Amino acid sequence: MIIAEAFSRTDQRLQRTRLEGADGYTFTADFIAWAARQAAAAEVRGTGALDPVTAFGLDHLTHGAAGAGLRHIPTIS
């Protein structure tokens, strides 16, 4: 399980999300393989050192993470 939270500069929590799925090692291997296939197919946006959202776009990255075994679990704030 992964819990991610985003905070403002004043430490106010802005958002919280929960993901579940494969263990960390399996997810990492599957996700890196997905990212490599995307790069080989020229699906990366930009050049140089890029964060995942910049490289793939949020929607495409979300589908890649789901394909590697993560699923979003709705949570109550």
Residue 77's pLDDT is what? 58
Residue by residue, what is the 3-state secondary structure of 50-73? CCHHHHHCHHHHHHHHHHCCEEEE
Token code pair at residue 63: 């589908």
Phi and psi at 42, nearest 5°, equal 60, 40
Confidence label for 51 from pLDDT (cuts 50, 70 and 90): very high
Q: What are the pLDDT digits (tens) for 63-76?
A: 999 999 999 887 76
Distance CA 68, CA 37 (A): 13
Q: What are the pLDDT digits (tens) for 10-50?
A: 999 998 988 899 888 999 999 999 999 999 998 898 889 99
Placement of tokens 């919280």 in the chain: 16
Model-wide pTM > 0.75: no
